[in-house]
Amino acid sequence: MRVLYFAWLRERIGLPEEEVETGAATVSDLVAELRAREERYALAFSDLRALRVAIDQELTDFDAALDGAKEVAFFPPMTGG
Amino acid sequence: MMIRVQSEPFDPGKTLNAFTTSAGDSAGAVVSFSGIVRDTPDGDLRCMEIEHYPGMTEKALTNIAQTASARWSLSAVLVIHRFGGLRPGEPIMMVATAAPHRAAAFEAAEFLMDYLKSRAPFWKKEIRRDGSEWVESRSSDEAALKRW
């Protein structure tokens, strides 16, 4: 699965995207796996209220199932316009 | 419907003239909004760095524009949003709407702006002389969606 990070999340984790081997059922499960990896992930994902998630380029929430997902993106609230 | 996501500068005036011509004779009202990079009160903004999510950005903008077109029966709709490093005074983005009457054109333009602020995957970072900082989203931007 391709996992992408944007804005300050990308900076804190230190990379824009990576391939992740996971059997996580939901976004929250995937976050738990990422947090357990290294301190920088734990810090970056410490407050999920400050983050948004998209599965295959559609906004969703942290309870969403990852069933068949090819791409999961994490980012702070958007600031367009 | 025209959606453009680009790093290149654009001329809002020329873009608006071309849009008005393309909207056709049934459009009695054209509304446009241009967003410009605003300097800080101290004048120390070097650059606004705009990051986006290629692929999702185009989908999100198309989706927002389609929703507006369906809700207000627009004759034409335009969304341009830039990414990359922009200097104070440069246009960041523009929306334009054309409709038979002005109420629809005004409302649809506001709708586009409200959704573009917090549902299109862009992130702004201010690069100042003394450091840099990500622009935080405002709760008022999220609240603005509730009126639609």
Task: Give how many domains chain B has, as a whole number.
Answer: 1
CATH no. for residue B98?
Answer: 3.90.1170.40
Asked whether B118 and B142 are in contact (CB, 8 A), the reply is yes
What would the pLDDT profile of B71-120 be if each residue is shown by its tens digit?
999 999 999 999 999 999 999 999 999 999 999 999 999 999 999 998 99
Kind and range of the H or E run holding A32 = helix A27-37
What is the span of the domain harbouring residue B63? 2-145
Q: Does domain A2-75 have CATH number 3.40.50.150?
A: no
What would the pLDDT profile of A48-80 be if each residue is shown by its tens digit?
999 999 999 999 999 999 999 999 999 999 999
Does residue B94 belong to the interface with chain A, where contact is any CB pair within 8 Å?
A: no
Domain residues of chain A, as ranges? Answer: 2-75
Distance CA B6, CA B90 (A): 14
Judging contacts by C-beta atoms under 8 Å, the chain B residues touching residue A73 are 53, 56, 121
Does residue B125 belong to the interface with chain A, where contact is any CB pair within 8 Å?
A: yes
pLDDT of B139 higher than 90: no
**Amino acid A3: pLDDT:** 98
What would the pLDDT profile of B46-73 be if each residue is shown by its tens digit?
999 999 999 999 999 999 999 999 999 9
What would the pLDDT profile of A1-40 be if each residue is shown by its tens digit?
999 999 999 999 999 999 999 999 999 999 999 999 999 9
C-alpha distance from residue B58 to each of B43, B82, B97, B121 (Å): 33, 12, 18, 9
Asked whether B98 and B18 are in contact (CB, 8 A), the reply is no
Nearest to A4 by CA among A67, A79, A69: A69
Tell me the H-state helices in B26-134.
Answer: 56-72, 102-119
Name the residue facing A6 among B53, B55, B137 (closest C-beta). Answer: B53
Cβ of B125 and A7 within 8 Å?
Answer: yes
Query: What is the ipTM metric for this complex?
Result: 0.95
